[in-house]
Amino acid sequence: MNLARLVGVVSLLALAGCSQGTPATAPPTSLPSAPASSAPPSSAPASPAPARFAAGDVRIALVRQLSSGDYFEQWLAGAQAEAKALNVRLEVSSGDGNNDKQALNLEQAVTAGADAIIVDHGFAQTVQPAIKKAVAAKVPLVAFDVDPGAAEAVALTQDDHRIAEQALGALKADTGGTGEVVYVHVAGFAPLDRRDETWRQFKKDNPGIKQVAQIGVVNNSTASAVADQAKAALQAHPGVKAIFAPYDEFAKGAALAVKELGLGDRVKIYGADVSTADIAVMTEPGSPWVATSATDPANVGRVAVRAAALLVAGSPVEHALTVPPALITQKGLRDAGITSVEQLTRAFPELSTPDVARVPWTAS
């Protein structure tokens, strides 16, 4: 793949200098001149694996709120790959959107004597009581995309404010900061709530942007439910020129609605997350989905498992770990001929963050 052509693909924002526990800060707006060469060099293990890891005697429970959809599938694949690399048994449960079931799964992981627990999403009011029990039982815990409500837990997030800022930056550049916008949001999910904070500030800073409708649902068929809602919103507000849909299932649903209404030349979509299926949607002829801000979800799953493994080993882990996003544009993807996340991450190894929760006994 021609790297010079790839420079336009991704604004690799906030990637440089992101180390374990260092929240991503507002990045420079320039692109790196040679993205592929700025990846961390691979290195040999700094220390031997602790005996329990070498013996395959470590069990980490992954307690999920949600499991369907591209993001969550990729995230799990990354977590499983890292668990395999660390010789850890990863015991996966999902509430499948049932918050009480997730809380029960969490209590069962404590009772079953997991060496560490990763809580993946969830609502604070349902998981925090069970997290408190895990902490009381001295089970190390990593909380991804959920407020653990316990100082003892490691909190892992993507930089959600930056995700929203990058997508909205693209929206502003394309619209000139004026026009009617449909917003897709569901309250209660920590990453969406953080993106919502940025959206609220963005509206204050850009009074020419008018939110004419808010839609959103999260369930096992989020994209099709959002498509139905988006169609109704677009029919009710024919002047809309952008949809801010900061979750890939939202963006896919919005894209379907725009396509079915034949509005692709007039309504553009600014999303979050990326998958191979998302890239196909973004790059198909006439697609309205023009920009997305994303991490590599598999990389984030890997970070979660590494952080849990470090806790099991008694190694220090920063209290807050943040993975920075990159802005990916339709034009950049098309120009570079990128059709999969594998191509995207090969072209931009910075989308992997081995220094976030680096494990000293594995090679990077």
Interface ranges with ligand SR1 (CB under 6 A): 71, 145, 158, 189, 191-192, 218, 247, 272-273
* Lookup: tokens for 209: 């942007």
- Sequence-distant (6+) residues with CB within 8 A of 361 are 45, 46, 47, 48, 49, 50, 53
Closest approach, Cβ 272 to ligand SR1, in A, equals 5
Structure tokens at 324: 């920075």
CA atoms 186, 189, 193, 194: torsion sign: negative
Please, which residue, 123 or 361, has the CB nearer to ligand SR1? 123
Q: Is 111 helix (H, G, I), strand (E, B) or coil?
A: helix
Of 13 and 192, CB closest to ligand SR1: 192
Q: Tokens 């040999």 sit at which residue? A: 44
144 pairs with which residues across the strands? 120, 156
Integer Cα distance of 43 and 80 in angstroms: 22
Task: Give the nearest distance from C-beta 115 to ligand SR1 in angstroms.
Answer: 25
Residue among 146 and 258 whose Cβ is closer to ligand SR1: 146
Minimum CB distance to ligand SR1, residue 361 (Å)? 29
Q: Of the two residues 109 and 272, which places its CB atom closer to ligand SR1 in the complex?
A: 272
Alpha helices in the chain (DSSP H): 3-6, 51-54, 70-85, 99-111, 124-136, 160-175, 190-205, 222-236, 248-261, 276-283, 297-312, 330-336, 341-347
CB of 260 to ligand SR1, least distance (A): 23
User: CB 113 → ligand SR1: shortest distance, Å?
Assistant: 29
**In terms of CB distance, is 218 or 267 closer to ligand SR1?**
218
Shortest Cβ distance from residue 37 to ligand SR1 (Å)? 28
Q: Are 179 and 212 in contact (CB under 8 A)?
A: no
Nearer to ligand SR1, 115 or 159 (CB): 159
